[in-house]
Structure 1
Amino acid sequence: MSRSARLFEIIQLLRNADRPILAREIAAALEISIRTVYRDIASLQAMQTPILGEPGVGYVMRKGYDLPPINLDVEEAEAISVGLSLIARTGDPGLWRSAGRAARKLHEAAPGTRRLPTSAWGIERCATVNLSEVRQAIRSEKKMAIKYCDVEGRETKRTIWPLFLIYYVDAGLIVAWCELREALRHFRLDRIARSSIQSDDFVGLGGPLVEKWEETQMAGVLPTREL
């Protein structure tokens, strides 16, 4: 565990405690030495973190202390967004409601994360598509070239404008505007033989297409086996 992560965990332990915590308890929880705990507490106090107490007595955090904002990079925000969606798997309504509130806050701070909806179960990893590349194309509104095999086994080469990446129970899908069909289409990841980001973009044109798809599709369930 890095020092910064360790300091963060100590703050979390103290914020969530309802009584003074001894150094040996912190050491046991984080699997570190008591001497390291004393050193970390001293460092936090030197940084004006309102930790009260002393060795042998225990430590408490002054009420009302909030952690500073956490700066996330784009992929970290996307990972959290997908993880919050997957909390539905727990079957815990209260946890799901809390995850929904957290997701809304995250979406306000990083609007692109709302384009990564999930179902309650997972799918097999797709070896032919670089999902980081797909998410990059969605964020930057870059066109993609794909080689696609439909349900009847016909292969076509397409240029698409990727709008959403959806993690459904039995398949992952890219929702995109298809230049070949001149319409919104859903492409199963496991039927894409090859994909690449193109230099051409559709900047400024994705928003209306996103709204159109949400109006017509988000209320229903897509029959992924038929796509």
Structure 2
Amino acid sequence: MRRSDRLSEIIEIVRDGRLHLARDIARALGVSVRTIYRDMDTLVASGIPLDGERGVGYLLREPVFLPPMTLSMAELEALHLGMAIIASAADPELQTASRTLLAKVAETATNRRKAPDNWGFGVYPQMQAQLGFKHMPTIRAAIRTGQQLCITYHALDDSTSTRMVRPLQIEYWGQVWTLSSWCELRDSFRAFRVDRIKTCVPTGRKFTPEPGKTMQDYLRTMGAEQSH
């Protein structure tokens, strides 16, 4: 087995999210444990999100694999436009991710015609949209992990309140970002403008999806209200 094929096989083995011992992987692939150790070092160095160490085991965290796909020039332009918006209207982590994503696309994309260096997009978001950027990493992490947030919110009527919320989704409306959530105080869904959130602190309390309180429920509620 070629080494490149073996590396692919290792990823297939560990992508189930469980802990795998090097000796078990070595046995499955018919190689030595020392070879697996070297392969793991290579995978980590190449950016594969592997956790673990020798003698303990390895697991793949948050694996995201995209199959080979063919993109039209219009689809590439759409990708560049989306990344241009993110690079100008998101928190630093996503801005960096947008740049590295485009770099990866540029390295792997092939076309008989050379892709243009200048895609013709200029994105200039309003300052208002940028006011809540400092909270974006905290909110996104809470959405991923299902963690309740305590926010201090300054509403448009100048009132200020403290809310315990279950963050569900962040939306960008071209001028401002909003956080769709389940508000424990109001016992209903609420959307908060991120630029008007003054403080945003994880409570350390996890929440599990409950009927009537999920993002799907929120979308159904919004759809029902718009139909009336």
- So what's the TM-score if we normalise by structure 1? 0.43
Larger radius of gyration: 1
